[in-house]
Chains A and B, each alone.
Chain A
């Protein structure tokens, strides 16, 4: 173990990690999947969806922002945290209008896949049926805010990777909505269909036009294997070394 490494324990498993990484990254490198939605590799962590909540030395913290510390004891896959994650996923469903059977993202959608991974078939909370606007003004990209989970991945990708600032948020609390940098809708912005911001969207809110259904439903990414399997298969491989 080199001097810049620390030792921590995730659900009792001892792992080593560079001292500058977060719990989420350390786990991932060691084949442990911590569920997450607003985190995306390459973007600054945001800590907003709260799906990656773990207990770090007993304190509830998002794994995506919590730095590792030597000797840290992390709870990840516990009854309590699974329950909290299920509740949060349920909340995300009922604050939007998600009709997966009619959604082009189905099968490639991280929210839907997260629900399946957590054994959710229908949310236990009442649907809030909010009014959320669709914006089809842009020639190549559609916004369907009914499916937006306010994760800010597009906001950060546009600022940090595309150098633009096309997206943001308006309002607060339950009235928070995705905003675009123009009074004339997405068409009034500098967004390009190839921007990182578009592909950063984990759900069916930012959709490229005219490329739908290229892969049939049933053969898509999360139709094949549960979300997180790629990370966990690293562990299986490592175990076989």
Chain B
């Protein structure tokens, strides 16, 4: 139960040296220990860190995984991503709700209400339980999935949900949730003693760059035998571009960061992986941690940084101890620490997010690391000049760092011989949805969408969401297009939809995601996405009007043009790609009933819906 505890709060603030830039870590930890950050805890934190109370509340209320209200000992977060719902997530959610007797977002229950119903035994869940929905947790290949505190549970069914609830009721006080909830652990390092997770890697195709075996630190040794300038030259020669979505040339970014003046510089690894449908970084972190850390160390050497930070999304907290352990081993082996290469010292720490997709945007990520709300910054200045704590900072994606290490193992000529002209190397794809073999595929750039669909066993395909909701919904006519920076660019997510899916509803769900995840800083994104969803829902439900298409186009253009960061620039994409790629779908759904002056407005249906919405007894028209 959430009881404010001044001593505990003071202790946590003490541990972070009363450093206000660690505010997020402080509230995270208070939340973890007391199971919420209530009014009195916020007062105490504000006093201890000497920050305005409103700033503390601003941070706590910004991140989905933090709460100002009691959430009990156990929080079950059911993933409500499109793919999870395609795979039966709604039934799983209903089963949890019924077995626990707590509605979603409805506060803390004890779980006893489920007694007798749905085959669940009576009894209490000690300490109470709360139930929430959460955006994509990166498990689309084994959906539906949920988080029970930090523990990931996958391939859920209603009966699995009921079993989980029963286990939680039978749990004896201190029993480890990981062992309690998993009947068996997943492959590879998922069974590692420090992970012990039922998550599976689902590596279907390992390519030669990221997922090929990697044991030596050949990359690191080779890099250290060159000068930092030479290292940057090699990365530029490899034509490596960022794998996190934007595709910026890595060598150029490094060069700017190296050139920027600063007594201290930082390397940040972006492991926020929040784009729905993306789960490749999860697998890389599990199986290629050394490759990634080698890449970060090489980057540190090249730009003259002494500190590296991995910003790990809260959903992947189950990997935290494992990654810390890998770092400890590297310190022991002399691959981190001082004197790595003539006078070069480098260390890496893991820092946690707290549930916010926008924190994947590099400047929002930096704000978050500085203990603030995850709101993007003005650019310029770019992080290369003024980043974390005002110092030159280089942010790259998990996969980008892996490419770096491999380039130094095998050479830039080898790397740039793979892939297509403008896009060298491979891309690790996360494929999910309607296909026989969802999972991870590392393919050379330039492969056609059609070939990838054949690989993963997708038939009867109506559309592919390339790059997640912020990308594009691609119609079959475009399946011969290729995956690369110059054609269909993607951070790695491919979500397949078959002919039976309602693409308009999927667009609506994606808008729901952006509404949930917008930081709310600027007007067009904060308000515009809600307005887009209102109108697309109307069309979905058969109440659209032909003029709605122009309305949606104009609104989308305002959001895209006037928003402040990448989230708002891309949030209308689910709508605009429907309009451009699937116009007939929208037109079919928009009624043209002359009896209503062609407005498509049906008084009777509208009144009935209004009645339902208001919760009043059903309204019958009397004509």
A13 interface hit (Cβ, 8 Å): no
Contact A49 B522 (CB under 8 A): yes
1/0 contact trace for B49-69 toward A, CB 8 Å? 001111101100110000000
How far is B522's CA from A56's CA once the two chains are assembled, in angstroms?
A: 19
1/0 contact trace for B526-548 toward A, CB 8 Å? 11111100100000000000000
Contact B531 A91 (CB under 8 A): yes
B449 interface hit (Cβ, 8 Å): no
Interchain CB contact (< 8 A) of A173 among B40, B518, B531, B554? B518
B619 interface hit (Cβ, 8 Å): no
Tell me the smallest distance from the CB of A61 to a CB of chain B, in Å. Answer: 10
Tell me the smallest distance from the CB of A170 to a CB of chain B, in Å. Answer: 4
Contact B54 A179 (CB under 8 A): yes
How far is B398's CA from A168's CA once the two chains are assembled, in angstroms?
A: 34
Contact B562 A84 (CB under 8 A): yes
Q: A167-B54, A170-B61 are in contact. Are A88 and B524 (CB under 8 A)?
A: yes
Interface centre among A94, A128, A181 (most CB of B within 10 A): A181
Interchain CB contact (< 8 A) of A49 among B523, B529, B563? B523
Contact B518 A88 (CB under 8 A): no
Interchain CB contact (< 8 A) of B373 among A51, A94, A172? A172
Q: A48-B523, A179-B58, A183-B39 are in contact. Are A128 and B373 (CB under 8 A)?
A: no
Contact B520 A47 (CB under 8 A): no
B555 interface hit (Cβ, 8 Å): yes
A180 interface hit (Cβ, 8 Å): yes
Across-interface contacts of B606 in A (CB, < 8 A): none
Across-interface contacts of B520 in A (CB, < 8 A): 150, 169, 171-176
Across-interface contacts of B356 in A (CB, < 8 A): 172
Q: A88-B524, A91-B524, A126-B531 are in contact. Are A169 and B58 (CB under 8 A)?
A: yes
Contact A168 B528 (CB under 8 A): no
When C-beta atoms are compared, the residue in chain B nearest to A65 turns out to be: B378
Tell me the smallest distance from the CB of B601 to a CB of chain A, in Å. Answer: 14
Q: A48-B523, A166-B52, A181-B46 are in contact. Are A174 and B530 (CB under 8 A)?
A: yes
Instruction: Offer 15 A-B interface pairs, CB within 8 angstroms, sorted by A.
Output: A47-B522, A49-B522, A50-B523, A50-B564, A87-B524, A88-B523, A159-B52, A165-B52, A165-B54, A165-B55, A166-B52, A170-B61, A174-B526, A174-B527, A183-B40
Given A92-B527, A94-B527, A174-B515, output 12 extra A-B contacts at Cβ < 8 Å: A48-B521, A48-B564, A50-B564, A87-B524, A87-B558, A88-B524, A88-B562, A164-B52, A174-B520, A174-B527, A179-B57, A183-B53
Which residues of A pack against B, CB within 8 Å?
A: 47-51, 53, 60, 65, 83-84, 87-88, 91-92, 94-95, 125-126, 128, 150, 155, 159, 164-176, 179-183
Which residues of B pack against A, CB within 8 Å?
A: 39-40, 42-43, 46, 51-55, 57-58, 61-62, 356, 373, 378, 515-524, 526-531, 534, 554-555, 558, 561-564
